[in-house]
Chains A and B, each alone.
Chain A
Amino acid sequence: MKKFLSHFEQRSGFEIALAVFALAYLLVFAGLPLLYNIMLSFQQVDLMEPATLLRPFAGLANYRDIFSRPEMHQVLINTLLFVGLSLFFQVVIGFLLAVLFAQDFPLASFMRGLFLAGWIMPGLVVGVIWKLLFAGDFGVLNHLLLSSGLMHERIFWLSDPSYSLYAVIIANVWLGVPFNMLLLSVGLAAIPGDLYEAAELDGANAFQRFYGITLPMMKATLGAVISLGAIMTMQQFDLIAALTQGGPANSSQVAQYWSWQLSFQTFEVSAGSAVATLMLVLVLIIAVFYVRSTRSERLV
C-alpha cells in the first residue's frame, strides 16, 4: 500500500480520492455484475426464485446446453458476418469520406458535421426509420433500386431469411460510418502536408502517395478505429430490436441479442449468461488490442 501511494508522491490525497471514488463506482456497478454474470453461467438459475447468491452448481452444463442448440451454429456465423461486414464497410466508407472531406472545397467541414447527425440519433429510432425504408411492398429502397434498373424484382428485406441479416448490416453501417469518418479525419489531419509535397516533387502519383504515405501513417488510427468499431458493433442491440428482433427464424440473430432474449424473453438465464460470458472473452481480447493501438499512437 505504501509503495502504491508513493507513486502519487507529488500529488495529494485529494486527487487520489477523486479517482478512487469513480473507479469504486464502476467496480461495484459494472465489475461486480460482470463477475456475477460469469458465476450465473455456471449455475442453475430459476428467475422465479428469490435472488440468492448461491445456487446449484451446474459446471459446464449451461455451455454444453447452448452449444447443443440448433440455432447456435447460425448465431455464430451471423455474429461473425455482422461484425466483420459492418466493420469492413464502415471503415472503407468512413475512410473514403474522410479523404473526401479532407480536400479543400466550400462548406467541407459543415457537410462533415451534418453526417454526425446520424451518429447522435438513438439506435432505436434509426432502426425504425430503416424499417420503413426497407418495407417490401411500398418501401422506398425497393422503389429506387427497381426504377434505377439495379434490381428486377422486389426484395422483402426484413422478412426474407436470406436478406434479413444483410438489411441489419446495411442499417448498422449507416449508423457507424460517421464515427469512423470522424476518427479517420483526425488521423488524416495529423499527417504533415509537406510529406505529400515532397512525394509529389519526386513524381509519386496519387495512388503511390496514398499507399506510401497515408496508409502507413494511419496504421495506429486504423487499429484504434477497427477495435472501437468491433466493440461498438458487438454492442448493437437497439437496431436489431427495431428491425428484425433476430428473425425471421433466427436468420438475423446475433450473440448479444440472443443472450438478452434467452434471459428476458424465454427466462433461460443460465443459457443467456453463458452466451454473455463467451462474448465477454471476445470483447476483452479486442479491448487489449485497442489499448495497444492507442499506446503506439501516443509514441508516434
Chain B
Amino acid sequence: MKRYVLFVIALIVTAIYLFPLYWMYITVFKSAAEMFQYPPTFWPQHGESHIWQVFTERGMGKFLWNSFIIACGTTAVTVFVGTGAAYALASVQNRWTGFAIFAVLVLQALPSSLMVTPIFTAFKGLGLLDTPRLAVVIAQITKTLPFYIVLCRASFVQIPRELRDAALVDGASPARAFFGVILPLAVNGILVTAILVFLQSFGEYVYARSLILDDQYQTATVGLSAFIGATKIDWIGIMTYSAVFVTPILIAFMLLQRRIVAGLTAGALK
C-alpha cells in the first residue's frame, strides 16, 4: 500500500516538473489565436504545425549545421586531449596530481561570460576571429575539458592498476599498455562523457554569441535568441524552433539515460 502512495506522489511530482517541456511541445501545435487565448488551452484545439515553415524561414538548417560542426570539433579535441590526462591523473596519485586536479577544477569554475572578454580581446589580436567556428571550439574546450577530465578520471580509477603492471611485465610499452589494455576497458565511460560534452557544446550560447560576428557561422542558440529580441514575439515560432532544436538532444539523452546516470554518479564526487 505504502509503495503505491509513494508511486502516486512521485508520478505527480514528475508530471509537475516536466510540465514546462509539455508546454513547449503543445505550443508547437497551437494556432496564433489559440496561443494568446486566456484561459490557455491544455491541448491544441485545431492542431497545426509550423515546423517546416519555421525550419526554412529561420534558416535552422544552417544554424544547426554550425552548432553540429562546433560540437563535433569540441568533442573530438576534448576526447583526444582529455582521455590521456584523465588516465594519467587517475594512475598517479600524489601531491602534484592533487594540485593538478585542483587547477583543472578552478579553471572550469569561471563563468564563460567572464572569460569571454579576455578571450575576445586576445583572439582578436591573434586574428582568430577570422575563423570564428575554430575560435569558438578553442574557447569551448576550456570549459568542456575540465569536466571531461574529472568524469573520465573516475572511470579510469575503477580499473585495477595490476592490469597495467601485468602488461608491462609481459613486455608491452606504457603506450601499448594504455591503448591495448586500459583504454578498451574505459571505453564505456569515455563514450558517455563524450556525449555529455557534445550535448553541452551543442547548446552553448555565450562564446558563440560573442566570438562569431558573421551571421553565416552563427549557431542554433544564437539563432534562437534572435527571436526573443524582436518587439513582437512570435511564441509559436520560438517554441517550434526550441522543440526542433531540443528533441534530438532529449532522444539522445533518453537512449543513454541509464549509462549517463551511472557515469555521473561515479564521477561526480571523486
Binding site for B on A (CB under 8 A): 4, 7-8, 11-12, 14-19, 21-23, 25-27, 29-34, 36-37, 40, 45, 47, 50-52, 97, 100-101, 103-108, 111-118, 120-126, 128-133, 135, 137-140, 143, 147, 174, 177, 182-183, 185-187, 221, 224, 231, 234-238, 241-242, 256-257, 259-260, 263-264, 269, 272-273, 275-276, 279-280, 283-284, 286-287, 290-291, 294, 297-298
Contact A122 B202 (CB under 8 A): yes
Knowing A101-B10, A113-B258, A183-B268, the reply to whether A23 touches B84 (Cβ < 8 A) is: no
Query: What does the 1/0 interface line of B85-110 toward A look like (CB < 8 Å)?
Result: 10111011011110010111111111
Residues of A near B204 (CB, < 8 A) are: 122
- Least CB distance, A142 to chain B, in whole angstroms: 9
Q: Which 4 A-B pairs have the closest CB atoms?
A: A122-B203, A18-B84, A51-B125, A22-B85
Nearest residue, chain B, Cβ from A181? B17
Chain B 167-186 interface mask (CB, 8 Å, partner A; 1/0): 00000011100100000000
Quick one: which of A276, A294, A298 has the most chain B CB within 10 A? A276
| A128–B224 CB distance below 8 A | yes
Residues of B within 8 A of A16 (CB): 88
Q: Decide: B149 and A22 in contact? CB cutoff 8 A.
A: yes
Chain B residues in 8 Å Cβ range of A133: 20, 23
Tell me whether A238 and B205 are in contact (CB under 8 A): yes
Instruction: Return chain B residues, CB-CB under 8 Å to A257.
Output: 113
Nearest B residue to A186 via CB reads: B265
Per the bound structure, the CA–CA distance linking A45 and B117 in Å amounts to 11
A23 to chain B, nearest CB (A): 6
A231 B142 Cβ-Cβ under 8 A:
no
Q: Does B228 lie within 8 Å of A131, measured CB to CB?
A: yes
Cα distance, A238 to B206, chains bound together (Å): 7
CA A133 to CA B40, docked complex, whole Å? 11
Taking the complex as formed, is B131 at the interface, i.e. its CB lies under 8 A from any CB of chain A?
Answer: no
Q: Which residues of A contact B81 (CB under 8 A)?
A: 21-22, 25
Q: How many Å lie between the Cα of A7 and that of B141 in the bound state?
A: 29
Q: Is B70 an interface residue (CB 8 A)?
A: no
Residues in A whose Cβ lies below 8 Å from that of B119? 29, 33
Choose among B87, B117, B124, B245 the residue that contacts A40 (Cβ–Cβ < 8 A).
B117
Contact across chains for A138 and B245 when beta carbons are under 8 A apart: no
Contact of B199 with A120 in the complex, beta carbons under 8 Å: yes
Q: List 18 A-B contacts (CB under 8 A).
A: A27-B103, A29-B138, A52-B125, A107-B7, A114-B17, A121-B249, A122-B203, A124-B205, A128-B242, A182-B265, A183-B268, A186-B268, A237-B111, A237-B112, A260-B210, A279-B110, A279-B111, A287-B109
1/0 per position for B57-71, CB-CB distance to A under 8 A?
000000000000000
**B224 neighbours in A (Cβ, 8 Å):** 124-125, 128
Residues of A within 8 A of B84 (CB): 15, 17-19, 21-22
In the complex, the chain B residue whose C-beta lies closest to that of A106 is B7
What is the count of residue pairs linking A and B with beta-carbon distances less than 8 angstroms? Answer: 296
Within 8 A of A (CB), among B30-86: 35-40, 81-82, 84-85
Asked if B13 is at the interface of the complex by the 8 Å CB criterion, the answer is yes
The interface of chain B, by Cβ under 8 A from chain A, is 3-4, 6-7, 9-11, 13-14, 17-18, 20-21, 23-24, 27, 35-40, 81-82, 84-85, 87-89, 91-92, 94-97, 100, 102-122, 124-125, 138-139, 141-142, 145-146, 149, 173-175, 178, 199, 202-206, 210, 221, 224-225, 227-228, 235, 238-239, 242, 245-246, 249-250, 253-254, 257-258, 260-261, 264-265, 268-270
Contact (Cβ within 8 A) A7 B117: no
Q: Is the CB of A235 within 8 A of B125?
A: no
User: B92, A15: Cβ atoms under 8 Å?
Assistant: yes
Q: Is the beta-carbon distance between A269 and B117 smaller than 8 angstroms?
A: yes
Asked whether B112 lies within 8 Å of A235 as measured between CB atoms, the reply is yes
| Interface contact A117-B92, CB-CB below 8 Å | no
Cβ 8 A contact of B114, one of A130, A186, A259? A259
B contact residues around A34 at 8 Å (CB)? 107, 110, 115, 118
CB of B178 to closest CB in A, whole Å: 7
Q: Is the CB of A105 within 8 A of B10?
A: yes
Bound together, the chains give a CA A7 to CA B97 distance in angstroms of 10
Per the bound structure, the CA–CA distance linking A260 and B119 in Å amounts to 12
